Amino acid sequence: MNVLIVGNGGREHALLWKMRRDDPAARFYVTRPNGGMLDDCVAVDLAPTDVEGIAAWAASHRPDLTVVGPEAPLAAGLVDRLQREGLPAFGPTASAARIESSKAYAKDLMTRAGVPTAHYRAFRDRDAAIAWVEARGAPIVVKASGLAAGKGAVVCASVAEAIGAVTEMVDGTAFGAAGHEVVIEECMEGPELSVFAICDGRHAALLLPAQDHKRVGEGDTGPNTGGMGAYAPVSMATPDVIAEARGRVIEPTLAALAADGAPFRGLLYAGLMSTSEGLKVVEFNCRFGDPETQALLPLMSSSLLQLMADVASGGSVEDATIEWSGQRAVTTVVASGGYPGSYERGRPITIPAGLEDDGLILFHAGTSVRDGALVSSGGRVLAATGLGTTVEDAAARSRKGAASIDLEGSFFRSDIGWRETASDSHDQGQTP
Ligand code: AMP
Ligand code: GLY
């Protein structure tokens, strides 16, 4: 089997790692693989965002399956292009990917489908947006409607901060065209949960629930990042919570997308918050989450490759069952100094020999090989996933792995999983 993976971050490294285990005989092609993927795949020298180039490559190489990792090529219609060539691709079409690429569309769809989410208004006019901010008061959340690499949401403690965020977004200084439309919404409170569903357009097979750590600093402080770490499963996600996520969020959203003529085939990511009024949607993504994927896939014992291949070729997940190892996973991201602001690239990385074992997997994200040496090439550089029978064991292994990386100026959060290790309910995490 020949599989093309589009993307080259930590999520795609985890997808490659898992699919390689699912089918050791398969041949994997990856667009500009990072330093950790290089030895395990055939490199395709095309940018993951080069939709035309990738479509042309696939049309001539005819992979049996293409798995599209990042949102940008999905939103730009790569899967539509591959389908037109008769090539199986895992991921939504551009119209279904709007659930992520237009927050205004996602909010409108949720309102129509009765899916619980924060009260909101969408604006293209700056003065109208500011008037609404002033009328609502703070705290309030301002979001760029378009794709902004996970950094487009600003939780504002004051009206002045919100006005600043609106102005920068609508004027295009913060996120270019992605910010010309803004979604302004009520600020919710509560712990967050990432629920991933493999969808066939109508039905969903849920992965274990995971929790991301978006803030850069220990104790969930400082600015939002793409994600500084994650763990799975999550005790808060009891069978009732999972049933609520499926019945009130995932299923009505799939039905509404299908009714809009955009059935969702691929991985639907529901970012949820457990509020005093029940679960509410913070955001949808149209692809696997990063770094949750690096925590989840090492726990999955049944085949992901088979499931994705089935969905890509028009099969159903109605009767699909996903099996899990029963272990706990904690993933700690090692980031370049300065991230999520500006940071330096090209710094040498030393990984101790023999670091990885049954309880520790090191996924690469922003790494590349230059003149035979491993160097940093992104904000999030590596992700150390620790596995264990308890979350404490998994967290200790993950922390130790992150601490043993030698990269000048780098940092990591040593408290990933703190909500879980602080709770008494360690054995309540459930299989969906
Ligand atoms: P998003 O890009 O929409 O996922 O938002 C990034 C992060 O901002 C979320 O994971 C939350 O931590 C926070 N956030 C987004 N929307 C809200 C909201 N309405 N209320 C409170 N926090 C939010
Ligand atoms: N972990 C957040 C994201 O993938 O968007």
What is the mean predicted confidence (pLDDT) over 116-120? 97
Structure tokens at 127: 């003065």
Q: Write the residue with the smallest CA distance to atom 5 of ligand 2.
A: 289
What is the mean predicted confidence (pLDDT) over 210-230? 94
Question: What amino acid is encoded at 276 in this protein?
Answer: S
The answer, yes or no, to whether residue 426 has pLDDT greater than 60, is: no
Ligand 2 contacts CB of residue 285 (under 6 A): yes
Cα torsion 94, 97, 98, 102: sign: negative
* pLDDT score for 135: 96
Q: Write the residue with the smallest CA distance to atom 18 of ligand 1.
A: 187
Among the atoms of ligand 1, which is closest to the Cα of residue 152?
Answer: 2
The answer, yes or no, to whether residue 285 has pLDDT greater than 80, is: yes
Same-domain check for residues 351 and 411: yes
Phi/psi of residue 312, nearest 5 degrees: -65, -30
Same-domain check for residues 207 and 300: yes
CATH number at residue 275: 3.30.470.20
Q: Is residue 136 assigned to a domain? A: yes
Q: Where among 186, 221, 239 does a domain terminate? A: 186
CB 290 within 8 A of CB 43: no
Structure tokens at 190: 């509560």
d(CA 285, CA 5): 18
How many residues are recorded in the chain? 432
* pLDDT score for 425: 46
Q: Is residue 319 assigned to a domain? A: no
Among the atoms of ligand 1, which is closest to the Cα of residue 215?
Answer: 12
Question: Over the stretch 335-370, which tens digit does the pLDDT of each residue have?
Answer: 999 999 999 999 999 999 999 998 999 999 999 999
Instruction: Give the pLDDT band (50/70/90) at residue 189.
Output: very high
Structure tokens at 11: 């999520």
Q: Is residue 431 assigned to a domain? A: no
What is the mean predicted confidence (pLDDT) over 145-170? 92
Give the DSSP letter string of 161-227: HHHHHHHHHHTTTTTGGGGSSEEEEEPP-S-EEEEEEEEESS-EEEPPPBEE--EEETTTEEEE-S-
Task: Determine the structural domain holding residue 391 and report its residue range.
Answer: 328-421
Q: Is residue 104 assigned to a domain? A: no
The answer, yes or no, to whether residue 383 has pLDDT greater than 50, is: yes
SS3 call for 398: helix
Q: Where among 149, 170, 186 does a domain terminate? A: 186
Q: Is residue 391 assigned to a domain? A: yes
Among the atoms of ligand 2, which is closest to the Cα of residue 292?
Answer: 1
Same-domain check for residues 25 and 134: no
* pLDDT score for 396: 97
* pLDDT score for 151: 79
Same-domain check for residues 14 and 46: yes
Q: Is residue 98 assigned to a domain? A: no
Same-domain check for residues 199 and 291: yes
d(CA 413, CA 69): 25
Among the atoms of ligand 2, which is closest to the Cα of residue 291?
Answer: 1
Same-domain check for residues 307 and 251: yes
Q: Is residue 264 assigned to a domain? A: yes
Ligand 2 contacts CB of residue 227 (under 6 A): yes
| Chain Cα centroid distance, residue 158 | 29
Q: Where among 141, 158, 186 does a domain terminate? A: 186
H-assigned helices in 23-69: 51-61
pTM for the model: 0.95
The answer, yes or no, to whether residue 432 has pLDDT greater than 70, is: no
What is the mean predicted confidence (pLDDT) over 376-394? 98
CATH number at residue 161: 3.30.1490.20
Domains: count for the chain: 4
Q: Is residue 107 assigned to a domain? A: no
CATH number at residue 50: 3.40.50.20
Which ligand neighbours the alpha carbon of 220 most closely? 1
CB neighbour class for 78 (10 Å; exposed up to 12, middle 13-18, buried from 19): buried
Consecutive H or E run containing 361: strand 360-364
Q: Give the DSSP letter of residue 324.
A: B
Same-domain check for residues 180 and 207: no
H-assigned helices in 292-387: 292-296, 304-312
What is the mean predicted confidence (pLDDT) over 61-70? 98
Same-domain check for residues 208 and 268: yes
Partner residues linked to 183 by β-bridges: 122, 143
Same-domain check for residues 334 and 396: yes
CATH number at residue 342: 3.90.600.10
Same-domain check for residues 403 and 375: yes
Same-domain check for residues 87 and 69: yes
424 Cα–ligand 2 center, Å: 27
283 Cα–ligand 2 center, Å: 10
Which ligand neighbours the alpha carbon of 184 most closely? 1
Q: Give the DSSP letter of residue 346.
A: -
Which ligand neighbours the alpha carbon of 10 most closely? 2
Same-domain check for residues 164 and 201: no
